[in-house]
Amino acid sequence: MRIIPAIDIIDGKCVRLSKGDYDTKIIYNENPLEVAKSFEAHGIEYLHLVDLDGAKSSRIVNYKILEQIATQTSLKIDFGGGLKSDDDLRIAFESGANQITGGSIAVKNRAIFEKWISEYGTEKIILGADAKDEKIAVSGWLEESNEDLIPFIQDYQSKGIQYVICTDIAKDGMLQGPSFDLYKKILAEAEGVKLIASGGISTFDELPKLAELGCEGTIIGKAIYEGRITLKQLENYIIGL
Our answer to whether residue 130 is catalytic in this structure is: yes
Helix (H, G, I), strand (E, B) or coil at 78: strand
From residue 108, alpha-carbon distances to 113, 193, 198 in Å are 9, 22, 22
Amino acid at position 69, single letter: I
Helix (H, G, I), strand (E, B) or coil at 8: strand
Do 86 and 111 meet the contact criterion of CB atoms below 8 Å apart? no
> Which are the contacts of 198, defined by CB distance < 8 A and separation ≥ 6?
6, 48, 165, 166, 167, 172, 178, 218, 219
Our answer to whether residue 8 is catalytic in this structure is: yes
Among the listed residues 8, 51, 88, 172, the single catalytic one is 8
Among the listed residues 51, 88, 130, 172, the single catalytic one is 130
Q: What are phi and psi of 98, to 5 degrees?
A: -85, -35
From residue 126, alpha-carbon distances to 98, 129, 161 in Å are 11, 9, 7
Give the catalytic positions in this structure: 8, 130
